[in-house]
Chain A
Amino acid sequence: MYNEKVMEAFSHPKNVGEIENPDGFGKVGNAACGDIMQITLKIEDDRIVDAKFKTFGCAAAIATSSTATEMVKGMTLDEALQLTNSKVVEELEGLPPQKIHCSVLAEEAIKAAIEDYRSKNKK
């Protein structure tokens, strides 16, 4: 049901963990639905220099967490806010239809982390 790229991202995920004292923190989903995604960001000069995740969820949720964090590293915050779930799915060369909502979670977690950073750093 999953393609090789998804299985690779799931079995060897990148950016697993938590950044200590993160500049941005986002957590979305809930345990009852079987999906929780937590993203921590290190941000310098409005650019994401590091991103890490912790995810409770299925193989697709873990794969999209890995891919989405990998994609936003190096992006400016405005660029990262443009990251849609379909771009993450595209990067993974597709997900089964019933798993698309997992990629939405990744998009939301990143947005939440950026919003957290912006609300803490209002000029």
Chain B
Amino acid sequence: MNRIYFDHAATTPLDKRVFEKMTPYFTEIAGNANSQHYFGREAMKAVDEARDKIASLIGARPSEIYFTSGGTEADNWALRGIAQAFKNKGRHMIISKIEHAAMITTAAELEKQGFEFTYLGVDENGVVDLEELERSIRPDTIFIGVMYANNEVGTIEPVKEVARIAKEHGITCFSDCVQAMGAIPVNVKDLGVDLLSFSAHKFYGPKGIGALYIRNGLPMGRIITGGHQERTKRGGTTNVPAVVGFAEALSIAEKELDENAKYVSGLRDRFIDRVLSEIPFVKLNGHRTQRLPNNADISFEYIEGESILFSLDLEGIAVSSGSACSSGSLEPSHVLLAMGVDEALAHGSIRFTFGKHNTVEEVDYAVDKLKEIVARLRAMSPLFAEIKGEVKNV
């Protein structure tokens, strides 16, 4: 069976050029980067080079880049680190309602420890409300966090404005750039944030490596204690091959950003146009233009997302239902609910995320299959039977 991968927001395959760059660091240059001997020094040299490269690509200083195990750890660190460092100044934090589970779940933990959270609402396109942000700021607010691009619906947030507002009030500003990095230009100076998280496997780099940008001079607590790695702020033996791959992947992603964005958004637009015109009772979630180049999140009325997901999987097409992270739960996507999408419709949402290796033929094949699947599942749905014959615009 031909397998088609339309789940690039979940993860991307490693770019072969990145793999080649990483290979020697598994077997040949295999020292512990913190060892003082030759082997260690060689490993550290590679880590330093990678850090320099990543820093320059995002407009930061090398001393502001801290490697982590990925986006989730970086998000955890941002929230918990600021909570620790600023708890005597205040205990109020603001994040958006559509943040990744790494933020939402961590916020719930911090609430148990006595921190107070305001969850910013979004409009029907998933864009945060800046006026609500202004209104939510209190004298004891210590943290504002809004993701740059949403992982489910791909909406790009006005992070620059968020950071400006935060700065005016002297509040630390964080942005989760896990989905944005490598897909749209990301520059810490341009955005004006104090903290920023990103992860290599979203842009054809290896899994298990990410980073937190921490602006120099920002007081910051630690969540992982151990050795002297990462200027003593994050213990643990450095994953040298992953760090090398991370830098290479980001450098390729930045170099090929315009080309990839154009190609992938072409596939996405073809997909969206065909689905919206050829399948009745569907709704595109998120902003039509202010969205990631790779994302098409679509709700199919009268049927349930997981049935669509597995039906597509049986045809060789891999997609996500809502957020991959919510697939274990029975609740519909918190992002769609925050956008005001009706619960039943939210249950019928599928995320298609395209990548640089996908083709127009794959898109067309998927739309053809999708049409059959949606028709088959609707024929089975008691909800569809009720409205049949009636034309209704969502």
Contacts and interface: CB of A to CB of B under 8 A. Distances in A.
Q: Do A and B bind each other?
A: yes
Interface of A: 2, 7, 10-11, 13, 16, 18, 27, 31-38, 54-59, 61-62, 98, 101
Contact of B307 (A10, A31, A37): A10
A62 B385 contact: no
Contact of B314 (A7, A16, A35): A7
Contact of B347 (A2, A13, A16, A34): A34
A27 B125 CA distance: 34
B329 A98 contact: yes
Contact of B380 (A34, A58, A62): A62
Contact of A32 (B310, B343, B380, B385): B343
Contacts of B382: 27, 36-38, 54-56
B381 A54 contact: yes
A32 B336 CA distance: 13
A55 B384 CA distance: 10
B184 to A, nearest CB: 33
Tell me what chain A mostly uses at the interface: helix, strand, loop, or mixed. mixed
B1 interface: no
A42 to B, nearest CB: 18
Interface residues of B, number: 22
Nearest to B306: A58
B330 interface: yes
A35 B385 CA distance: 15
B311 interface: yes
Contact of A54 (B306, B307, B328, B385): B385
Contact of A11 (B303, B311, B347): B311
B289 to A, nearest CB: 30
Q: Please name the 9 residue pairs, one residue from A and one from B, whose CB atoms are nearest each other, closest first.
A: A31-B344, A34-B347, A58-B306, A32-B343, A54-B382, A38-B382, A56-B381, A59-B310, A56-B383
Nearest to A18: B385
B330 A34 contact: yes
Interface in B335-394: 343-344, 347, 379-385
B380 A13 contact: yes
Interface of B: 302-304, 306-307, 310-311, 314, 328-330, 332, 343-344, 347, 379-385
Given A34-B344, A36-B383, A98 B304 contact: no
Given A7-B314, A34-B330, A98-B328, A57 B343 contact: no
Given A10-B307, A11-B314, A56 B302 contact: yes
A61 B381 contact: no
Nearest to A96: B328
A81 to B, nearest CB: 22
Nearest to B311: A11
A16 B375 CA distance: 14
Contacts of B310: 2, 7, 10-11, 59
Contacts of A34: 304, 330, 332, 343-344, 347
Contacts of A16: 379-380
10 contacts: A7-B310, A16-B380, A31-B347, A34-B304, A54-B380, A54-B382, A55-B382, A56-B381, A57-B307, A59-B306
Contacts of A33: 330
A33 B332 CA distance: 8
Nearest to B303: A56
Contacts of B314: 7, 11
A2 to B, nearest CB: 7
A61 B314 CA distance: 17
Contacts of A62: 307, 380
Nearest to B331: A34
Nearest to B379: A16
Contacts of A18: 385
A7 B306 CA distance: 12
B343 A31 contact: yes
Nearest to B315: A11
Contacts of B328: 98
A2 B330 CA distance: 16
A94 to B, nearest CB: 16
Contacts of A101: 330
A38 B385 CA distance: 11
Nearest to B327: A1
Contacts of A57: 304, 307
Contacts of A56: 302-304, 381-384
A117 B191 CA distance: 66
B14 to A, nearest CB: 25
B227 to A, nearest CB: 39
Nearest to B347: A34
Nearest to A38: B382
A18 to B, nearest CB: 7
